[in-house]
Every structure is written in C-alpha cells, then in structure tokens.
Amino acid sequence: MEKYAAWAASYQEDQVTIAYDTMWEGTTKIAHRIAEEIHRQSPDTVVKVFNIAKADKNEIMTEVFKSRAIAVGSPTVSNSYLSSVAGWLEFLKQLKFKNKKAAAFGCYGWSGESVKLLQAKLAEAGFEVIEENVRSMWNPKESDFEGIPALVKSLIG
Ligand SMILES: Cc1cc2nc3c(=O)[nH]c(=O)nc-3n(C[C@H](O)[C@H](O)[C@H](O)COP(=O)(O)O)c2cc1C
C-alpha cells in the first residue's frame, strides 16, 4: 500500500484498463466493445479488461497504475452500482491516482443511475472524468454501441 502511494504521483504507460462487473453480461459486452474500439483507434495502446468480481483486486490496481485512462462499468442495481464495484471504487480512491482520465458505462432497466454515480465517484477519486458514456437499457443492441467511438476518442485523445 505504501508503494502504491509512492508510485501514484504521475506514472503512466500507453495503456487503458477497463474494469466492470455485471449480473447478466450486458455490461460485459459494452466493456469488450470499448476495448475493441480502443484497439481500432490506437493499435499500439495496451488494453486490459477485468471483471472486478472475478479478478484479483490488487492486480487490477497495478494495471490502473500503469494506465493513462480507465473505463469503469456497472449495471444499475437498486438505484446504484453493484456493491463489488462500490468496494473497488473505494480502494481506487484511497490510492490517489493522478493525471488519468476516466469514463463510465453500464446497463440499466428503468432508472439507470449507475453511470452518473460512477462518474461522480471517479471524479471524487481524482480522475479527469469525460462526459461521454455508454448506457444501455437492458442487454445492449447494436445501436447502444453508437457512442463508443466518441467515448474512446475523448478517453485516449
Ligand atoms: C436486483 C436488481 C435490481 C435492479 N435495480 C435496478 C434499478 O434500480 N434501476 C434500473 O434502472 N435497473 C435496475 N435493474 C435492472 C438492471 O440494471 C438490468 O437488468 C441490466 O440490464 C443488467 O445489466 P447486466 O446485464 O450488465 O447485468 C435491477 C436488476 C436487478 C436484478
């Protein structure tokens, strides 16, 4: 943890880390479409995708540390984001990363608060949060991916 704090200054490589959780894989699809679009727009950028509930939390943070930008995704659950993502965001905030951009994405059914709340939490954690986001009502259709090129342009630009 002390090392994390020491490293947190401004270190970064040409990498983007995408971290998300999901119930029914809709948010997973958005995560992978964002990854594909990063590769299309910037073939040299390393992209790593993690399911927060399945991957080792320290490993994801090591990749965030190396990244110049991150994208965080969660479906809306009970007017918020998943508790797994909430815990991870708390850890993220404690590490006080600097000079990194962030974007949010996620599926929802009716009220869809997760993306706005993710953006607010990422800003609180010290990230430069971009406006562009992806919200999909229920499982994503092709048209739900339309905003991804603009999101990626802003995230890695
Ligand atoms: C327990 C539970 C609570 C939910 N609460 C909300 C909610 O408060 N607002 C909303 O818009 N959708 C809510 N949803 C709907 C999910 O966000 C929606 O099914 C979404 O497509 C799931 O995305 P996923 O495929 O990434 O898991 C809820 C779903 C479940 C199972």
The CA 77 to ligand 1 mean position distance, Å, reads: 5
Check whether domain 11-156 has CATH 3.20.20.70, yes or no: no
Question: What pLDDT is attached to residue 10?
Answer: 72
Q: Is the CB of 25 under 6 A from ligand 1?
A: yes
> Measured in whole angstroms, how far is the alpha carbon of residue 12 from the centre of its chain?
16
Whole-model pTM: value is 0.95
Q: Is the CB of 109 under 6 A from ligand 1?
A: yes
Distance CA 34, CA 37 (A): 5
Query: In the chain, which ranges are continuous DSSP H helix?
Result: 2-7, 26-41, 57-66, 83-94, 114-124, 148-156
Q: Where are the alpha helices (DSSP H) in 10-73?
A: 26-41, 57-66
- Map tokens 């800003």 to a residue: 123
Residue 29 CB–ligand 1 contact under 6 Å: no
> What pLDDT was estimated at residue 60?
98
Which atom of ligand 1 approaches the CA of 136 most closely? 21
Residues 6+ apart with CB under 8 A from 118: 72, 73, 74, 81, 85, 89, 104, 106
- Closest-CA residue, ligand 1 atom 1, reads 77
Per-residue pLDDT of the chain (157 residues; tens, 9 = 90+): 776 666 655 778 999 999 999 999 999 999 999 999 999 999 999 999 999 999 999 999 999 999 999 999 999 999 999 999 999 999 999 999 999 999 999 999 999 999 999 999 999 999 999 999 999 999 999 999 999 999 999 999 8
- Maximum distance among all Cα pairs of the chain, rounded to whole angstroms: 44
Report pLDDT for 123.
98
- Which residue type sits at 103? A
